[in-house]
Structure 1
Amino acid sequence: MKIDIIYQKFKECLSISTDTRKISKDCMYFALKGENFDGNKFVPQAFDNGAKYCVVDDEQAVINQHCILVKDVLTTLQSLANYHRNAINIPIISLTGSNGKTTTKELINTVLASTYKVKATIGNLNNHIGVPLTLLSFTKDLDFGIVEMGANHQKEIEFLCGIAQPDYGLITNFGKAHLEGFGSVEGVIKAKSELYDYLKQNEKSVFINSEDAKQIKQIGDYSKTITFGSKVKNDCVINFISANPFVTLKYDNTVINSKLIGNYNYGNIAVAVAIGKYFNVTTINIKKAIESYLPDNNRSEIIKKGSTKIILDAYNANPTSMLAALKNLKQLNAENKYLFLGDMFELGTEAEKEHQEIVNFIESNFESQVYLIGQNFNKTTTKPTTYKFATFEDLKPELKTLQLKDSTVLIKGSRGMALERILDVL
């Protein structure tokens, strides 16, 4: 069936779904396949739960006239998203980067939503399935759509740009993330810069931190670049004031006090400010938006337990973000610092070296109680005063003996480590 005909049926639906457990009435269900599941087998359940149409790629799944048989469900989902993107024709802002994507996306959304009708990627639905789902949730009455793009291999950002066709874009940073797929930091830079390549080829606009030398080098001499940072010649002049612990900055003679910790979050806030300025959001609205934003979902949250302050940053980790969190902790005016650090995943052959480098930094800069959790950290060479645990279960008995009083605690690790469980034990 041609994509324009499928699109007409899509417009009859109230929403879309790829999970029969989350079907809503009159939605369009896409029967995706994975390594351990086949959505075609759940078509009857989808209809029972209220689906109006089911897109399938198995002839045996066609059980009534409301089944749409296609060659490949995933490809159809992606093509439909691109068709819809062109049909509604709203400005799209896309972002990628090694760290801070979701926080930055939420900040941009908060700033623009103070003045415009905006919708953004929900959570981190930022891959070859999430981006199409995001685009299909946009409507033509929006002033802006914000699309987060993630990648763990080359050409993925290029592919996602082909679907979303962004009008504006930014890269949060280049860091040591997904080295297993990218091979090296150079590989990371090349892959993330596919967003710049698309924007430049199509003469679209780029927001860029003028103090990030790697990004300035990648964008080169491109006329449709909107710069931000402390230099007077920037399109948007923003000055970092402090991060002890929350980031404070100055813009347009106005001090903005965020609820985000760590100077590594300055760039994330600054680009949201720059985008707000570019699209004529008033300074007062920018200030209110930034100051109202509260991090959640284990991302740089500060939790107070009596006299103890816990920095919960357990959503994800890579060598760049881990080092940034440690440097931030080091400069905080705090006594009795405790570190609970979990393994960093997807580092491939670099895993041993990167974990050891983190250990070396810790032992050169902290006299704190250091607890390392995971198979990779367990293999590192450490001082006798550094505690190592192969698993979270091994750590639990030790946690129950701790009396954390008047302390500052950092909890950080990759998502698979689920170190937020430490809070339950503490």
Structure 2
Amino acid sequence: MQAVFEAYLRCRKVTTDSRACGPGTLFFALRGPSFNGNDFARDALAQGCVLAVVDAPSLKGVDGCYWVPDVLEALQELATWYRRQSGVQVVGITGSNGKTTTKELLAQVLARKYRVWFTQGNLNNHIGVPLTLLAMPPDTEVAVVEMGANHVGEIAALCQIAQPDCGLITNVGKAHLEGFGSFEGVKKAKGELYAFLNEGLRTIFVNAGNPHLKAMLGVHYNRALKYGEGEDSLLRVSAVTAEPFLRFSWQMEGACGLQRVETRLSGRYNLENALAAIMVGLHFKVPFEDIKIALESYAPANHRSQVVNTGRNQVLLDAYNANPSSMAAALAHFAGLDHPRKQVVLGGMKELGQDSLAEHLKLLALLQELALSACWLVGLEFKDLLPEEEGWLWFADAAAVAAYLREHPVKDALVLVKGSRANRLETLMGGL
């Protein structure tokens, strides 16, 4: 692998896409269910890449190719090597909900004092984490690395690659049950981050108001840096409002006076994400005023917790992802908002496996309990579940909703649009 290390240090640009292989790139010929990167190694070299890392026996000895037994393992080994060489402080993040928002808030807070790199987009798996580390600029001081998983064992493997110095689990909920098998499986998988951090007595940040996280830490809970609304939190919060933007006051025990923050995040459920960013910022000695500036200047994007005034309606757009816990939090927040005309558009929740029907029925019961009567349900998960009540409609997909909106426009309403990414509910914004 020495030749690969040396090539990386010369170019510092890694790709797994042969179409992106310009001069000075290092190409890793990964395999997938429907492709084999080895087939494109010669194309990558023709485009100017400095080295193609391959594992096809037919490419052994080919000029410009470096053969390894497994290209993915080589990519991960290079990333781990570079992470150790870099001396960068790595903050690891995982969780069922809020990973992306928390990651971006942390990065914004830390960037007030440090040169920061963070996971771009959803590059948070066994391929994305290595690519994130290898994309760090040479002068990076702190990296915020998001770790995603849908099977037990994956977070543990990502920790071995990223070697986080500190980290947090945003929360645990019923997400990816198809892969984890149960809620206990979710906790076991996400808890692999705690296990890694505990092994080296590394710093752990924890929401003191989350009983699941407290139980998962066990005896290590006492040494964790606690934030949130729990009684033993070091970071206290008060005067919380969300109409619709999240605003609150906070105070660090023995460190500062009361600080007021007015964010552009919608929903009280984002409070734990903001407090995590404050706690990590304080740990890294970011000044109080800089934390405030960072939080107040952060604007959510990519269809996550956005408040959009369309000219016809005010839309709370949260169509990036959905699972039972995030749905319940979004609906509880929406139900508490004061508006004479509310409209809910919900997409089906994915990857729930055998629990899918039960969880969608629970969601419908919650909608009725919250008296949210103007409800449009989208996706096959809701088919045949529609209550026989006025104001409830079912649509097969987002295209059907868009067609209905053209004939039955919604005006002067407060609209919640929430669903799993596969529903593509963000495409409705033109009609709302």
- TM-score (normalizing by structure 2): 0.94
Amino acid at match of 2:37: G
Superposition map of 1:220-369 within 5 A = 220-222=218-220, 224-230=223-229, 234-239=233-238, 241-252=240-251, 253-369=258-374
Q: Quick one: distance in 2 between partners of 1:196 and 1:86?
A: 20
1:14 is displaced (CA, Å) by 3.2
Superposition map of 1:195-206 within 5 A = 195-206=193-204
Amino acid at match of 2:73: T
Q: Look up the SS of the partner of 1:387 in the other structure.
A: strand
Q: Quick one: distance in 2 between partners of 1:48 and 1:301?
A: 44
Please say if residues 15 and 24 of structure 1, whose CA atoms lie closer than 8 Å, have aligned partners that are also in contact: no
Q: Quick one: distance in 2 between partners of 1:338 and 1:44?
A: 55
1:378 is displaced (CA, Å) by 1.2
Please say if residues 177 and 319 of structure 1, whose CA atoms lie closer than 8 Å, have aligned partners that are also in contact: yes
1:64 is displaced (CA, Å) by 4.4
Superposition map of 1:11-26 within 5 A = 11-26=9-24
Amino acid at match of 1:133: L
Q: Quick one: distance in 2 between partners of 1:419 and 1:105?
A: 24
Aligned residue number for residue 68 of structure 1 = 66
Aligned residue number for residue 372 of structure 1 = 377
Q: Quick one: distance in 1 between partners of 2:108 and 2:347?
A: 31
Q: Quick one: distance in 2 between partners of 1:209 and 1:11?
A: 39
Please say if residues 12 and 135 of structure 2, whose CA atoms lie closer than 8 Å, have aligned partners that are also in contact: no
Q: Quick one: distance in 2 between partners of 1:238 and 1:30?
A: 47
Is 1:389 aligned to residue 395 of structure 2?
Answer: yes
Q: Quick one: distance in 1 between partners of 2:237 and 2:386?
A: 42
Please say if residues 401 and 428 of structure 2, whose CA atoms lie closer than 8 Å, have aligned partners that are also in contact: no
Q: Quick one: distance in 1 between partners of 2:23 and 2:343?
A: 49
Superposition map of 1:121-200 within 5 A = 121-200=119-198
Q: Quick one: distance in 1 between partners of 2:27 and 2:322?
A: 34
Match for residue 87 of structure 1 among 67, 85, 89:
85
1:401 is displaced (CA, Å) by 2.1
Please say if residues 88 and 139 of structure 1, whose CA atoms lie closer than 8 Å, have aligned partners that are also in contact: no
Is 1:401 aligned to residue 401 of structure 2?
Answer: no
Q: Deviations over 1:190-228 (max 9, x none)?
A: 110110011101111100111111111111222541111
Please say if residues 355 and 376 of structure 1, whose CA atoms lie closer than 8 Å, have aligned partners that are also in contact: yes
Is 1:47 aligned to residue 45 of structure 2?
Answer: yes
1:397 is displaced (CA, Å) by 2.6
Please say if residues 204 and 224 of structure 1, whose CA atoms lie closer than 8 Å, have aligned partners that are also in contact: no
Q: Quick one: distance in 1 between partners of 2:286 and 2:405?
A: 47
Please say if residues 25 and 50 of structure 2, whose CA atoms lie closer than 8 Å, have aligned partners that are also in contact: yes
Please say if residues 208 and 232 of structure 2, whose CA atoms lie closer than 8 Å, have aligned partners that are also in contact: no
Please say if residues 119 and 146 of structure 1, whose CA atoms lie closer than 8 Å, have aligned partners that are also in contact: yes
Please say if residues 247 and 257 of structure 1, whose CA atoms lie closer than 8 Å, have aligned partners that are also in contact: yes
Match for residue 413 of structure 1 among 404, 411, 419:
419
Please, which runs of 5 or more residues in structure 2 have no aligned partner?
252-257
Amino acid at match of 1:410: L
Please say if residues 90 and 140 of structure 1, whose CA atoms lie closer than 8 Å, have aligned partners that are also in contact: no
Amino acid at match of 2:95: G
Q: Deviations over 1:326-383 (max 9, x none)?
A: 1111011112111111111000000111111111111222343211011111132412
Please say if residues 259 and 295 of structure 1, whose CA atoms lie closer than 8 Å, have aligned partners that are also in contact: yes
Please say if residues 320 and 419 of structure 2, whose CA atoms lie closer than 8 Å, have aligned partners that are also in contact: yes
1:240 is displaced (CA, Å) by 5.4
Query: How many residue pairs get matched?
Result: 424
Q: Deviations over 1:12-35 (max 9, x none)?
A: 113100112233430101111100
Q: Look up the SS of the partner of 1:115 in the other structure.
A: coil
Change (3 A) 1:209 1:367: closer
Please, which runs of 5 or more residues in structure 1 have no aligned partner?
none
Q: Could you tell me the percent identity over the aligned residues? A: 40
- TM-score (normalizing by structure 1): 0.96
